[in-house]
Chains A and B, each alone.
Chain A
Amino acid sequence: NAGVTQTPKFRVLKTGQSMTLLCAQDMNHEYMYWYRQDPGMGLRLIHYSVGEGTTAKGEVPDGYNVSRLKKQNFLLGLESAAPSQTSVYFCASSYRYGNSYNSPLHFGNGTRLTVT
């Protein structure tokens, strides 16, 4: 099992350019998440998905779009990149919410994005 795989690992964009970050998991997890990690602010949830074909907004969704066309993949899109989107992006996945507790999140290695 590869677990959660993110591509690319690094990317530099110019302001206004677009790109898509790919997250793939091979654990048959229902839930998938995109977080951004910034110094002093921890991990903030951008968007998440509770199943194939469904997505929802997290804490900081503006400027991002997502799609979950296949259960194993969760794509994060930046339509028009801005310097404020310079960050490290983490994808995570987990099993479906249970009756009394949740499974832990499995994280990818992260994507370091710089927008100049």
Chain B
Amino acid sequence: AQRVTQPEKLLSVFKGAPVELKCNYSYSGSPELFWYVQYSRQRLQLLLRHISRESIKGFTADLNKGETSFHLKKPFAQEEDSAMYYCALIGEYGNKLVFGAGTILRVKS
């Protein structure tokens, strides 16, 4: 079975501080992992995917198969990063995206 765990419901940091949103997954095969973001009054949208190995809006995430983690990181938080962040996984059949419970990121000035 596929499972995604985001242990923090709320993460509050000051502007300019580093950010790490944790995501752990449970899956026996080779997963594909994503981070989705929902800004206030906006649609849920893709932030980044592990297969692309890219940095979006200063965020990066590395898939660590040994620790089964896909933590989202940003070295210097900005107020506009405040949003709900969801980690998600596609597993064996490639047609069901399973989400974690989400983490609210609040960046304080």
A→B interface (CB under 8 Å): 31, 33, 35, 40-45, 48, 50, 58-59, 90, 92, 97, 100-102, 104-105, 107-110
B91 CB, min distance to chain A CBs, angstroms: 11
Beyond A48-B96, A90-B44, whether A101 also contacts B51 by CB under 8 A is yes
Q: How far is the CA of A35 from the CA of B45 in the complex (A)?
A: 14
B101 touches A42 (CB 8 A): yes
Across-interface contacts of A41 in B (CB, < 8 A): 101
B→A interface (CB under 8 Å): 4, 6, 9, 32, 34, 36, 43-46, 49, 51, 86, 88, 90, 94-102
A40 touches B97 (CB 8 A): no
A-B complex: 5 closest residue pairs judged by Cβ atoms: A104-B46, A42-B101, A43-B99, A97-B94, A107-B44
Q: Which residue of B lies closest to A108 (CB)?
A: B43
Beyond the given pairs A102-B32, A105-B36, A110-B43, 10 more chain A to chain B contacts, judged by CB atoms under 8 angstroms and listed by A's residue number, are: A40-B9, A42-B100, A43-B88, A44-B99, A45-B96, A45-B98, A100-B51, A101-B32, A101-B51, A102-B94
Q: How far is the CA of A59 from the CA of B2 in the complex (A)?
A: 11
Beyond A48-B96, A50-B95, A104-B49, whether A42 also contacts B6 by CB under 8 A is yes
